[in-house]
Amino acid sequence: MPEQDPCVRLRIDLAYDGAPFRGWARQPGLPSVQEAVEDALCLVFRVRCPTVVAGRTDTGVHARSQTVHVDVPREAWERVTRSRGTGRVAGALPASPDPAHASAPAATTGTVAASDARGPVDPVLARRLNGALNRVLGKDRADRGWEPVVGAVVVQSVAQAPPGFDARFSALSRAYRYRVADARTGHDPLTRTFSWWVDPQLDVAAMDGAVRELLGLHDFLSYCKPRAGATTVRELQRATVDRDEHGMITVALTADAFCHHMVRSVVGALVRVGEGRHGPSWPGERLRARTRDAAIVMAPAHGLVLDAVAYPDDALLAERARVTRARRGGD
């Protein structure tokens, strides 16, 4: 009889307003999204449960769709499932009766279709985690001298992860959107917390042409803050700049992964093109220079949203994680 795994791996999908936090990663004495999520997990399972995230976001950056995995000790998992009194086998998650709990289909990458990469969704556990988050972001946060921000983090779904799933290394791609409001858009105070206000009217066509110069597999050193021992080579898979019917400009970028500050640095360069300070070829020229200097100015964090994370079919999860770990090195 095979030995039972000592932990149950869960996939958690969540969204958050990044404004009240100092980024995703836990930091001593500072509020972080990771700390809030892990404290909520501790309230539910009564044991510390470290999380692994698909994409670490900076201070003030938002997420419409973020993915984490967490390994819950089997004893803690069985204690919680038994407390429901449903008679289900411990570790088996129920199918969701509500199709609204299912994730929207993710984009395909190359010839590999992105999948949900999870078992049936557990709405009961999602509700319990959201209740714990309300306490963590309300009373518990106030007790630490921080302003309560109930609702700033919302768990969208919880499911048992399939074998080989790793929220970070199994991911095929991450998609970000950055919103910019210019003279044509107008500066609506209701958009100030999630868009970058710039004064002149931007040339969106020039920006869209410029960003396409960055598509493909490149060393993005010019647009990254390098980490020791980590590669700055990334594959930018999709890149567009457009203006919607309300005039809001959106920069949409999808890559296998992003270096630290990469999206904000790319957006900063594109806005300079849109302002007419540089021609559409300039971002590509900076890319090929492979030099990080003051010519590249980062866009503010609050306009950036992690929009989606895509994963391969379940049978390919473990291999994808193995290949990504080898490629990323100290990333």
Sequence spans of domains, the chain? 7-83+111-170, 173-307
- Would 7-83+111-170 and 173-307 be classified into the same CATH topology? yes
CB 283 within 8 Å of CB 269: yes
Q: What is the pLDDT of residues 10-56, one digit of tens each?
A: 999 999 999 999 999 999 999 999 999 999 999 999 999 999 999 99
Across 206-214, average pLDDT: 97
Look up residue 203 and give its two tokens: 């040339």
Name the E strands within the chain: 7-16, 51-53, 62-73, 153-160, 173-181, 196-197, 216-219, 233-243, 249-255, 304-310
Look up residue 46 and give its two tokens: 């009564």
With a pLDDT cut of 90, the percent of the chain lying above it is 79
Name the E strands within 57-141: 62-73
**What is the topology classification, in CATH, of domain 7-83+111-170?**
Alpha-Beta Plaits (3.30.70)
Q: What is the pLDDT of residues 261-317, one digit of tens each?
A: 999 999 999 999 999 999 999 999 999 999 888 888 999 999 999 999 999 999 999
d(CA 168, CA 61): 18
Residue 95's pLDDT is: 35
Q: Give me the catalytic one of 58, 166, 208, 314.
A: 58
| Whether 293 is catalytic | no
Pairing of the two strands 173-181 and 249-255: antiparallel
**What is the topology classification, in CATH, of domain 173-307?**
Alpha-Beta Plaits (3.30.70)
CB 91 within 8 Å of CB 73: no
Does the annotation place 176 within a ligand binding site?
yes
Mean pLDDT of the chain: 89
